[in-house]
Structure 1
């Protein structure tokens, strides 16, 4: 049952939330929703391992399509593809919660990451694009009456990229995140939905600290039972080294968007690359925006994860089963 329709429209060079209007849920669907470079592919691999209970590497682009992606395949083709799937479906999205239809029978997994880490990882991401990938993104933007311009130039210097990311957005409403949606608005949207019983929050840093423990949380949330003897192999297959080893199979055709294929997409999987690189004034602006645009417990969780040292995290991540927020008039935004 549809509990809440999308209340806002988001469009960028890469994504178009309108594509979700074609989606028809199944009772056990899973939606993995993240800000770009926050552990999306990692969580897709984890869910794939849990669903199939085999370490065999399979193309995540085929198994777990990105429904809001606008520059690869017509939505009719994507819908036909997922309708033909016989396994438990798990789909990918880079949309805020208010840009997605929300169903009571669907499970939503949101993976969070410190915005500075996500931004620096995304710099490596775009720096590795092929010229064809940039051309296709530009075409999508120019053909859209809201976006209306080519893809932003790829900046070689990561400090310059972060400066643009923290100071420029898609429009006046979205004051940072270029070429993606506003990071802070994105995370605030999901934070407001964290108490819903079919939403699970996972943090990138927590997966790095205790991958096995976080995988068990995901399995419990999805109500998937794993035989004890299978766990070590599944956890090993979800590790970064194994994913990088199997990258060509996991990414499939998606790797063709990058000059060095899966080696660019699955780069380092580390945090803190912004330290000593980003300019102090840009880091100060990031902190100021986090404090003013996010609830304090949300900012704390994004910075430290559920396993962070601050005892307030334990309280802030206990869901309060609040009523669903009221419906708002649908808005259109370049996002």
Structure 2
């Protein structure tokens, strides 16, 4: 497996984890609807509108370095329901198992860029550093120094283009256009022997109940008809925002300046206020260097050129 490592995660943490037949691995690029898909899976598997534990405990992010790997493995080993595990690692960096279902969620990368921009502003980096040190102590790991934090341009357009044009290898960066496209491409090119479910963020927005029913069918989950209205309501952005303290990822509400802001907008087309025709042409040229034409069309829901 390729190793993917950045400030907050390390895919080597998968080493030694034992998958079970029927496990679900939710593998998405950051800011593509990961938490939303985790919530949907929790509702479909547990079939209760209210979660008994924080979502981050029910569906841990194995790669995240701010939680002890020892504790994450123990929590997953103790689970008796069908497990659904989060990762931001592409397919070539996680275990390949034909008895497992992989869910890959994609989103228009232009919206990903703007969502990631707000995400960074909302992170409590000091809280992350403390949690990282505590997790390493539990696991008996000697930490290396964190990379220096980059200064971010004041201008929103400048930050957008830095994200788009960043050439840092995908194995060494948390989020960029290159990282997003290459992540999705690993699943797009997967062989037919793997059970891969593709979901688009816009489809969840347009028809949440329909997409939840489609996913339940793909996962072989029978849901009593009377439960559907409550489950769908619990999966809406408004409902998740109202319960942000128990649903936000990355260690819980203490890691965010404003937990509710994690669910800031959840809309598509946010980039329209920022990009003109010349910008779109420049972006189109860039994204087509990074992904196959059919994947580009799927990501954007229509040709971008």
Using the size of structure 2 for normalisation, the TM-score is 0.87
Q: Does 1:239 align with 2:236?
A: yes
Q: Does 1:16 align with 2:14?
A: no
1:164 to 158, 162, 165: 162
Aligned counterparts of 1:122 and 1:84: Cα–Cα separation in 2:
33
Moved over 3 A (4+): 133-140, 142-145, 153-157, 173-181, 194-197, 278-285
- Equivalences for residues 1-335 of structure 1 within 5 A: 6=1, 8-57=2-51, 58-70=53-65, 72-133=66-127, 135=129, 143-144=143-144, 149-171=147-169, 178=175, 182-193=179-190, 195-251=192-248, 253-261=251-259, 263-278=260-275, 283-304=280-301
Aligned counterparts of 2:160 and 2:9: Cα–Cα separation in 1:
21
Deviations 1:69-98 (A, max 9, x none): 12x123222111211122211100001111
Residue 192 to residue 179, structure 1, CA distance change in 2 (3 Å):
closer
Structure 2 spans left out of the alignment, 5+ residues: 137-141
Deviations 1:71-128 (A, max 9, x none): x123222111211122211100001111111111111100010111111111111011
What does residue 139 of structure 2 align with?
none
Task: Note the aligned Cα RMSD (angstroms).
Answer: 2.8
Aligned 8 A contact 1:44 1:60 in 2: yes
Q: Which has the higher helix share?
A: 2
Please give the secondary structure, in 2, of the residue aligned with 1:11: coil
Aligned counterparts of 2:171 and 2:13: Cα–Cα separation in 1:
21
Aligned counterparts of 1:23 and 1:265: Cα–Cα separation in 2:
29
Using the size of structure 1 for normalisation, the TM-score is 0.79
Aligned counterparts of 2:131 and 2:227: Cα–Cα separation in 1:
41
